[in-house]
């Protein structure tokens, strides 16, 4: 029994002080509950929400277990309030068949922290040529398909993939990047790439592919999800697509809301991400998009890398930063504090909305739903310390940032899997 919290359950239009009772791994009741319970958690002054969902993480297993494992990533996830995560398939080997999907699930269950889902690859080995075994992977429980890390370049292959995935009602997610525009770029193309002498990635790389994909969606009229959109132009494309009632959804990361390409000025590779950090105008457009309800999910794109790799020069270092264990505080800073989203608005984009995209029956506190609950102290201020991360990797540009909003407890299937101070 979780007593006296501010219970926010956007799917049921609920935002009030009350109790949540979990019985046998499931939500048994929400409201003013008089029953006695075996265990009582006092949530006075806290926010009680459906377990948070991050539909975009990289756990590096199989293949790069020195960077992250499903066990270490899962521990980081519950410490960050996430009761479900979706792994990306660009591991080594690629998750492009049912056996690999089952492997991720098995490892996730063994870790006993968060629910671990995975997307499968759209194309075999992310080569962009031959479709992977999407049907078998969907049957095995893959919650989407993506070639994340790459954009799928060939439009004919993409159209086939969209139509095929629709047969299983599983979403195709795209890392929008047209390689002919991206070239060998390592940061946003603009003033800073020019003065730093680094090859740039034009905003067109993202927008050209997103525009193309939307034309394909128009043809096929099937679900499509744009991953980590980063530019003002992408926002306008999404705006038009939604206005035309196309089944298009999109997600945004914290770094594309808080950091600009100016951060790359010291050649610090903890600012090297893909899509790259853009301009202040792009940030404004993304925030406006969120305020206007155009963004469907907030994600981390948690991307662990070894320190030795990130210590390479900017040109050679890999793209990506870890983001799980600071995500909530960063989203509060980027969206709640400036009044772009209310707490219920934020929770919606971290629970029910992503749950719908990946087609899992989660993200609400409805009776009978799985007992996944996150308890948040909305007033707790703290300093982000990468050395305290449970993630194996520390490539994170927010070390030392002060943020507000800390996860107190994470309950997965009725079991407390994380408590602050543990």
The residues annotated as belonging to the active site are 301
Minimum Å gap between C-beta 30 and Zn ion is: 34
Stretch that binds Zn ion, among 167-175, 230-238, 322-330, 407-415 (CB under 5 A): 167-175
Q: Which residues have CB under 8 Å from 180's CB, separation 6+?
A: none
Residue 401's φ and ψ, nearest 5 degrees, are -70, 140
Count of residues in contact with Zn ion, rule CB under 5 A? 3
DSSP letters, 88-119, are: -S-SSS---SHHHHHHHHHHHHHHTSSEEEEP
Does 98 help bind Zn ion (rule: CB under 5 A)? no
Interface residue with Zn ion, options 3, 107, 175, 287 (CB under 5 A):
175
Pairing of strands 172-174, 224-226: parallel
Residue 49's φ and ψ, nearest 5 degrees, are -130, 165
Interface residue with Zn ion, options 261, 301, 352, 377 (CB under 5 A):
301
**Choice between 229 and 411, CB closer to Zn ion:** 229
Does 148 help bind Zn ion (rule: CB under 5 A)? yes
Minimum Å gap between C-beta 263 and Zn ion is: 19
**Choice between 100 and 148, CB closer to Zn ion:** 148
Minimum Å gap between C-beta 54 and Zn ion is: 11
Minimum Å gap between C-beta 97 and Zn ion is: 20
Minimum Å gap between C-beta 225 and Zn ion is: 12
- Report the alpha-carbon distance of residue 291 to residue 279 in Å, rounded: 19
**Choice between 229 and 355, CB closer to Zn ion:** 229
> Containing H/E element for 287?
helix 280-291
Stretch that binds Zn ion, among 6-14, 110-118, 301-309, 408-416 (CB under 5 A): 301-309
- Report the alpha-carbon distance of residue 377 to residue 43 in Å, rounded: 9
Residue 236 burial (C-beta neighbours within 10 Å; 0-12, 13-18, 19+) = middle
Contact 219, 296 (CB under 8 A): no
- Beta-bridge mates of residue 26: 23, 370
CA dihedral 325, 328, 334, 336 (to 10 degrees): -170
Stretch that binds Zn ion, among 121-129, 168-176, 239-247, 393-401 (CB under 5 A): 168-176
Minimum Å gap between C-beta 32 and Zn ion is: 43
**Choice between 301 and 408, CB closer to Zn ion:** 301
Does 68 help bind Zn ion (rule: CB under 5 A)? no
Stretch that binds Zn ion, among 77-85, 125-133, 140-148, 285-293 (CB under 5 A): 140-148
> What does the binding site for Zn ion look like in residue numbers (CB under 5 A)?
148, 175, 301
């Amino acid at each position: 029994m979780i007593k006296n919290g501010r219970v926010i359950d956007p799917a049921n239009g609920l935002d009030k002080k009350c109790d949540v009772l979990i019985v046998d791994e499931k939500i048994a009741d929400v409201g003013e509950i008089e029953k006695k319970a075996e265990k009582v958690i006092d949530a006075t002054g806290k926010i009680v929400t459906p377990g948070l969902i991050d539909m975009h993480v990289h756990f590096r297993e199989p293949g790069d277990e020195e960077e992250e494992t499903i066990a270490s990533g899962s521990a980081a996830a519950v410490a960050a309030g996430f009761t479900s995560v979706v792994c990306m398939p660009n591991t080594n080997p690629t998750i492009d068949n049912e056996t690999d999907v089952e492997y991720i699930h098995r490892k996730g269950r063994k870790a006993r922290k968060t629910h671990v889902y995975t997307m499968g690859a759209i194309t075999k080995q992310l080569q962009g040529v031959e479709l992977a075994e999407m049907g078998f992977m969907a049957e095995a429980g893959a919650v989407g398909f993506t070639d994340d890390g790459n954009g799928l370049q060939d439009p004919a292959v993409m159209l086939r993939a969209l139509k095929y995935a629709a047969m299983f009602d599983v979403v195709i997610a795209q890392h929008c990047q047209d390689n002919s525009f991206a070239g060998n770029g390592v940061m946003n193309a603009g003033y800073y790439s020019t003065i730093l002498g680094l090859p740039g990635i034009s905003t067109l790389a993202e927008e050209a592919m997103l525009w193309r994909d939307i034309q394909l969606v128009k043809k096929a009229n099937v679900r499509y999800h744009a991953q980590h959109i980063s530019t003002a132009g992408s926002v306008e494309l999404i705006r038009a697509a939604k206005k035309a009632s196309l089944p298009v959804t999109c997600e945004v990361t914290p770094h594309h809301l808080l950091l600009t390409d100016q951060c790359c000025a010291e050649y610090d590779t903890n600012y090297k991400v893909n899509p790259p950090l853009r301009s202040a105008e792009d940030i404004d457009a993304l925030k406006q998009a969120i305020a206007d309800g155009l963004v469907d999910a907030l994600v981390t794109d948690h991307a662990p890398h070894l320190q030795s790799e990130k210590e390479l020069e900017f040109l050679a270092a890999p793209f990506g930063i870890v983001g799980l264990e600071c995500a909530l505080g960063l989203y509060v800073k980027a969206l709640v504090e400036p009044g772009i989203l209310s707490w219920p608005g934020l929770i919606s984009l971290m629970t029910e909305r992503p749950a719908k995209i990946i087609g899992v029956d989660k993200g609400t506190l409805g009776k009978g739903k799985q007992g996944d609950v996150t308890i948040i102290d909305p007033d707790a201020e703290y300093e982000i310390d990468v050395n305290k991360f449970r993630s194996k990797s520390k490539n994170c540009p927010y070390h030392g940032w002060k943020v507000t909003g800390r996860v107190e407890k994470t309950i997965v299937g009725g079991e407390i899997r994380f408590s602050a101070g543990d």
